[in-house]
Chains A and B, each alone.
Chain A
């Protein structure tokens, strides 16, 4: 069974940093692109970033480029999102999701709250 479990969400002050993790199991992690998608309270889904199987390609939405870094450890079946210079508008549930052009499995998400 495919499982994606996010962790690392927390309350952080504006300008602070946070590192999210996603533990994958039930499939060959190194064979898939992986993504982070977020959802602000009461809002729709917003794709944040993705990373290719071999880490050779990473893409970001404009609003986080230069502040967030996506990474992965294929030996450990883990996906990460390093978030720096956090803003109030980054407050959201962050989901880890598998796939390239469509996202076929999602985790339950982890809540990031940016507030003073």
Chain B
């Protein structure tokens, strides 16, 4: 079955750029979606279909996807960006939603 691999944690200095990766076999051939989840809150979709931002999501948050890695990039990181970030794809082999394990972003 298909698997998505994310680092457990990523740290970034305030105002710098954070990159969170999501690895999968030829993930570049799939649509990748990203969710932000703050403690005690429900997940929020921040990127859909690799690069698209829903309304209300700041331009500082962007996505890319190529080869075996999809990347969520957060520029000018703020304290409010501290959260868990999860990637997600549609697994065509099982016709189901598949999440990565999630990455905890810490802003130092």
Given contacts A44-B101, A101-B31, whether A109 and B95 have CB atoms under 8 Å apart is: no
| B100 partner residues in chain A, CB cutoff 8 A | 44
Interface residues on A, range: 20 to 34
- Asked if B97 and A106 make an inter-chain contact with CB atoms under 8 angstroms apart, the answer reads no
- Could you jot down 30 A-B contacts, CB within 8 Å? A37-B43, A44-B84, A44-B86, A44-B99, A44-B102, A45-B35, A45-B43, A45-B86, A47-B97, A47-B98, A47-B99, A50-B96, A50-B97, A59-B94, A61-B96, A95-B43, A102-B33, A102-B45, A102-B48, A102-B49, A102-B88, A103-B33, A103-B45, A103-B88, A103-B97, A104-B45, A104-B48, A104-B54, A105-B45, A106-B44
| A67 partner residues in chain B, CB cutoff 8 A | none
Best-surrounded residue of B41, B42, B101, B102 (most CB of chain A within 10 A): B42
Interface set, chain B 78-97, CB cutoff 8 A to A: 84, 86, 88, 90, 94-97
In the bound assembly, the distance between CA atoms of A45 and B95 in angstroms comes to: 17
| B44 partner residues in chain A, CB cutoff 8 A | 106
In the bound assembly, the distance between CA atoms of A102 and B32 in angstroms comes to: 9
Interface residues on B, range: 20 to 34
The count of A-to-B residue pairs whose CB atoms sit within 8 angstroms is 59
Interface set, chain A 68-116, CB cutoff 8 A to B: 95, 97, 100-109
Best-surrounded residue of B41, B45, B100 (most CB of chain A within 10 A): B45
Task: Name which residue of chain B comes closest to A95, CB basis.
Answer: B42
Report B40 CB to chain A, min CB distance, Å: 9
List residues of A whose CB falls within 8 A of some B CB: 35, 37, 44-47, 50, 59, 61, 95, 97, 100-109
List residues of B whose CB falls within 8 A of some A CB: 31, 33, 35, 37, 41-45, 48-49, 54, 84, 86, 88, 90, 94-102
Given contacts A104-B48, A106-B42, whether A37 and B101 have CB atoms under 8 Å apart is: no
Report B96 CB to chain A, min CB distance, Å: 5
Task: Name which residue of chain B comes closest to A6, CB basis.
Answer: B42
Task: Name which residue of chain B comes closest to A104, CB basis.
Answer: B45
- Asked if B95 and A59 make an inter-chain contact with CB atoms under 8 angstroms apart, the answer reads yes
| A108 partner residues in chain B, CB cutoff 8 A | 41-42
